[in-house]
Structure 1
Amino acid sequence: MIPQPVSVGPADGAFLLDSRTPLDAPKELDGVASWLRATLRCPLPPGGGGVGLRVDPALRPEAYEVKCTPDRLKITGGSPAGVFYGLQTLRQLLPPQALRRAGPTGWRVPAVTVTDRPRFGWRGVMLDVARHFMPVADVLRFVDLAAFHKLNVLHLHLTDDQGWRLEVPGWPRLTEVGAWRSESMLGARQHVRFDGRPHGGFYTADDLREIVAYAGERHMRVVPEVDMPGHMQAAIAAYPKLGNGFAGGVRTGWGISSHVLDLGPESLDFCRAVLDQLCEIFPSELIGIGGDECPRDDWGGEDRQPAFTALMAAHLATRGRRIYGWDEILEGGAPAGAVVAAWRGQEPTTVAARRGHQVVACPDIVAYLDYRQSDDPGEPTPVGTRLTLADVYAFSPVPEGLSPAERELVLGGQANVWTEHMDSARVVDYLVYPRLCAFAEAVWDAPDRSYASFAARLPEHLDRLDALGVNYRPLTGPRPWDARPDAPGNPRDRSDRLAELAEMTKRLAFENPV
Structure 2
Amino acid sequence: MPPEQLVEPTVIPQPQTIKVTKNQAAIIGNDVTIEFDKEDKALATAVQHLERWLTGQRLDPTPSGQKAAKIRIRIVDSLEQQEAYRLLVNKNGVNISASDATGVFYGIQSLIQLSEPWEIMRTRLLKLPMAFIQDKPAFSYRGMHLDVGRHMFPVESVKSYIDMLARYKMNRFHWHLTEDQGWRIEIKQYPKLQEVAAYRKETLKGHYSDQPHQFDGKRYGGFYTQEEVKEIVRYAQERFITVIPEIELPGHAQAAIAAYPELGCTGKPVEVATKWGIFEDVYCPSEETFTFLENVLTEVMALFPSEYIHIGGDECPKTQWEQSELCQQIIGEEGLKDEHELQSWFIQRIERFLNSKGRQIIGWDEILEGGLAPNATVMSWRGEAGGIEAAKQGHDVVMTPTTYCYFDYYQSNHPDEPLAIGGYLPLDKVYNYYPVPEELSEEEAKHILGAQGNVWTEYIPTPSKLQYMAYPRMQALSEVVWTGKKKPGYSNFVKRLSHHLKWMEKEGINAANHIYDVDLKVVGGQGAPLRISVSNAAEEGRFAVTKAPATGNADFPYTEPFEPESGMYTVQGYVKGVKTGRPATLQFEGHLAAGQKLTLESKPHPKYNGGQPQVVLNGVNGSDERYGDSEWLGFEGEDFVGTIEWEKLQLLNSASLRFFHGPGQWIYVPESVKISTWDETVQTWKAIGSSTVKAPDGKIATVEIDLGSVRTSKLRVEIRNHGKIEAGKQGAGHEAWLFVDEIRID
TM-score, scaled to structure 2: 0.63
Cross-structure match for 1:440: 478
- Structure 2 counterpart of 1:75, from 83, 93, 96: 96
1:128 and 1:283 map into 2 onto residues whose CA distance is 20
Answering whether residue 201 of structure 2 is matched by residue 176 of structure 1, we say no
- Structure 2 counterpart of 1:369, from 396, 401, 407: 407
1:368 and 1:83 map into 2 onto residues whose CA distance is 31
Deviation digits for residues 221-272 of structure 1 (CA, Å, limit 9, x no counterpart): 0110010010000001111111123312110100111110111111111111
1:104 and 1:395 map into 2 onto residues whose CA distance is 42
Answering whether residue 163 of structure 2 is matched by residue 149 of structure 1, we say no
Residue 224 of structure 1 aligns to a residue in which SS?
A: strand
1:164 and 1:217 map into 2 onto residues whose CA distance is 27
Cross-structure match for 1:390: 428
Residue 496 of structure 1 and its aligned partner are, at CA, apart by 2.5
Q: What are the ranges of 5 or more consecutive residues in structure 1 without an aligned counterpart?
A: 481-487, 508-514
1:208 and 1:407 map into 2 onto residues whose CA distance is 35
Residue 434 of structure 1 and its aligned partner are, at CA, apart by 1.0
Query: 5 Å matches for 1:166-315?
Result: 166-191=185-210, 192-243=213-264, 244-300=266-322, 302-303=339-340, 304-315=342-353
The 8 Å contact of residues 381 and 490 in structure 1, kept in 2 or not, is answered as no
Deviation digits for residues 423-464 of structure 1 (CA, Å, limit 9, x no counterpart): 011000111111111111111125142112112222112112
Residue 182 of structure 1 and its aligned partner are, at CA, apart by 1.3
2:626 and 2:280 map into 1 onto residues whose CA distance is 22
Residue 452 of structure 1 aligns to a residue in which SS?
A: helix
1:131 and 1:9 map into 2 onto residues whose CA distance is 45
Structure (1 or 2) with the greater strand fraction: 2
Q: Per the alignment, do residues 499 and 33 of structure 1 end up closer, same or farther by CA in structure 2, a change over 3 Å counting?
A: farther
Residue 95 of structure 1 and its aligned partner are, at CA, apart by 2.7
Cross-structure match for 1:483: none
Cross-structure match for 2:26: 15
Cross-structure match for 2:125: 106
The 8 Å contact of residues 96 and 467 in structure 1, kept in 2 or not, is answered as no
- Structure 2 counterpart of 1:36, from 50, 68, 83: 50
2:150 and 2:420 map into 1 onto residues whose CA distance is 17
The 8 Å contact of residues 288 and 324 in structure 1, kept in 2 or not, is answered as yes
Residue 471 of structure 1 aligns to a residue in which SS?
A: coil
Residue 98 of structure 1 and its aligned partner are, at CA, apart by 7.6
Residue 634 of structure 2 aligns to a residue in which SS?
A: helix
Residue 300 of structure 1 aligns to a residue in which SS?
A: helix
Residue 204 of structure 2 aligns to a residue in which SS?
A: coil
Cross-structure match for 1:511: none
Residue 94 of structure 1 and its aligned partner are, at CA, apart by 2.0
Residue 105 of structure 1 and its aligned partner are, at CA, apart by 5.7
Residue 356 of structure 1 and its aligned partner are, at CA, apart by 0.9
- Structure 2 counterpart of 1:129, from 148, 168, 191: 148
1:36 and 1:256 map into 2 onto residues whose CA distance is 45
Cross-structure match for 2:72: 52
Cross-structure match for 2:674: none
Cross-structure match for 1:165: 184
Structure (1 or 2) with the greater helix fraction: 1
Whichever residue aligns with residue 431 of structure 1, its letter is M
The 8 Å contact of residues 178 and 235 in structure 1, kept in 2 or not, is answered as yes
The 8 Å contact of residues 383 and 492 in structure 1, kept in 2 or not, is answered as no
1:277 and 1:382 map into 2 onto residues whose CA distance is 34
Cross-structure match for 2:634: 496
Deviation digits for residues 392-425 of structure 1 (CA, Å, limit 9, x no counterpart): 1111111112111110001000000001111011
Q: Per the alignment, do residues 56 and 134 of structure 1 end up closer, same or farther by CA in structure 2, a change over 3 Å counting?
A: same
Residue 266 of structure 1 aligns to a residue in which SS?
A: helix
Larger radius of gyration: 2
Cross-structure match for 2:380: 342
1:412 and 1:232 map into 2 onto residues whose CA distance is 28
Query: 5 Å matches for 1:75-94?
Result: 75-94=96-115
Residue 76 of structure 1 and its aligned partner are, at CA, apart by 1.3
Q: What are the ranges of 5 or more consecutive residues in structure 2 without an aligned counterpart?
A: 1-10, 62-67, 324-338, 519-580, 583-623, 639-665, 667-723, 725-730, 735-746
C-alpha RMSD of matched pairs (Å): 2.5
The 8 Å contact of residues 246 and 311 in structure 2, kept in 1 or not, is answered as yes
1:422 and 1:471 map into 2 onto residues whose CA distance is 13
Whichever residue aligns with residue 402 of structure 2, its letter is D
Residue 499 of structure 1 and its aligned partner are, at CA, apart by 5.6
Cross-structure match for 2:12: 2
2:507 and 2:359 map into 1 onto residues whose CA distance is 36
Q: Per the alignment, do residues 80 and 7 of structure 1 end up closer, same or farther by CA in structure 2, a change over 3 Å counting?
A: same
Whichever residue aligns with residue 55 of structure 2, its letter is R
Residue 384 of structure 1 and its aligned partner are, at CA, apart by 2.6
Cross-structure match for 2:554: none
The 8 Å contact of residues 61 and 79 in structure 1, kept in 2 or not, is answered as yes
TM-score, scaled to structure 1: 0.91
- Structure 1 counterpart of 2:499, from 460, 464, 467: 460
Of stretches 136-145 and 373-382 in structure 1, the one that deviates more from structure 2 is 373-382
The 8 Å contact of residues 19 and 105 in structure 1, kept in 2 or not, is answered as no
- Structure 2 counterpart of 1:380, from 405, 408, 418: 418
1:402 and 1:498 map into 2 onto residues whose CA distance is 24
Cross-structure match for 1:116: 135
Q: Per the alignment, do residues 495 and 155 of structure 1 end up closer, same or farther by CA in structure 2, a change over 3 Å counting?
A: farther
Q: Per the alignment, do residues 204 and 464 of structure 1 end up closer, same or farther by CA in structure 2, a change over 3 Å counting?
A: same
Q: Per the alignment, do residues 40 and 315 of structure 1 end up closer, same or farther by CA in structure 2, a change over 3 Å counting?
A: same
Cross-structure match for 1:484: none
The 8 Å contact of residues 468 and 512 in structure 2, kept in 1 or not, is answered as yes
Residue 381 of structure 1 and its aligned partner are, at CA, apart by 1.1
Residue 70 of structure 1 and its aligned partner are, at CA, apart by 1.4
The 8 Å contact of residues 15 and 110 in structure 1, kept in 2 or not, is answered as yes
How many residue pairs align between the two structures? Answer: 494
1:105 and 1:216 map into 2 onto residues whose CA distance is 32
1:2 and 1:135 map into 2 onto residues whose CA distance is 27
Deviation digits for residues 5-37 of structure 1 (CA, Å, limit 9, x no counterpart): 111111223212221001101132111111211
Residue 477 of structure 1 and its aligned partner are, at CA, apart by 4.9
Q: Per the alignment, do residues 185 and 151 of structure 1 end up closer, same or farther by CA in structure 2, a change over 3 Å counting?
A: same
Residue 391 of structure 2 aligns to a residue in which SS?
A: helix
Residue 66 of structure 1 aligns to a residue in which SS?
A: strand
